Copies of this chain bind each other. A is one copy, B any other.
Amino acid sequence: MTVEAKGRAGGSVVARVPKATFRAHIADALRAAILNGNIEPGAQVIETALAEQFGVSRGPLREAMRQLIDEGLLVAVPYTGTHVVDLSVDDVREIYSMRVTLEIFAFEQIWARRDQAFRRELVARHDALTACIDAQDDAASIIAELQLHGFVYEATGHKLLIRTWESIRGRLQLYWAAHHRAHGIRGPRREGHDRYVEMALADDIEALKAEIADHMARGGRQTEDFLRGRPASAGTA
Q: Number of contact residues on A: which range applies? A: 35 or more
**Overall SS of chain A's interface:** helix
The answer to whether A78 and B158 touch across the interface, beta carbons within 8 angstroms, is no
The answer to whether A235 and B1 touch across the interface, beta carbons within 8 angstroms, is yes
Cβ of A91: which chain B residues have Cβ within 8 Å of it?
Answer: 159-160
Shortest CB-to-CB span from A172 to chain B, Å, is: 11
The answer to whether A2 and B63 touch across the interface, beta carbons within 8 angstroms, is no
A70 interface contact, C-beta 8 A: yes
Interface readout for A146-173 with B: 1 if CB under 8 Å, 0 if not?
Answer: 0000000000001111011001100000
Nearest opposing residue in chain B for A70, CB measure: B70
Q: What is the bound-complex CA distance between A235 and B205, given in angstroms?
A: 34
The answer to whether A164 and B164 touch across the interface, beta carbons within 8 angstroms, is yes
- With beta carbons under 8 angstroms apart, the residue of B3, B78, B94 that contacts A161 is B94
Shortest CB-to-CB span from A220 to chain B, Å, is: 13
A36 interface contact, C-beta 8 A: no
A237 interface contact, C-beta 8 A: yes
Interface readout for A48-75 with B: 1 if CB under 8 Å, 0 if not?
Answer: 0000000000010011001100101001
Q: What is the bound-complex CA distance between A98 and B21, given in angstroms?
A: 32
Q: What is the bound-complex CA distance between A107 and B77, given in angstroms?
A: 33
Q: Knowing A62-B63, A67-B70 are in contact, say whether A3-B77 is a contact too (CB < 8 A).
A: yes
Nearest opposing residue in chain B for A85, CB measure: B3
Q: Knowing A21-B78, A63-B62, A67-B66 are in contact, say whether A98-B161 is a contact too (CB < 8 A).
A: yes
A233 interface contact, C-beta 8 A: yes
Cβ of A20: which chain B residues have Cβ within 8 Å of it?
Answer: 78
Shortest CB-to-CB span from A94 to chain B, Å, is: 4
A136 interface contact, C-beta 8 A: no
The answer to whether A2 and B236 touch across the interface, beta carbons within 8 angstroms, is yes
Shortest CB-to-CB span from A206 to chain B, Å, is: 14
Shortest CB-to-CB span from A197 to chain B, Å, is: 22
A95 interface contact, C-beta 8 A: yes
Interface readout for A217-237 with B: 1 if CB under 8 Å, 0 if not?
Answer: 000000000000000111111
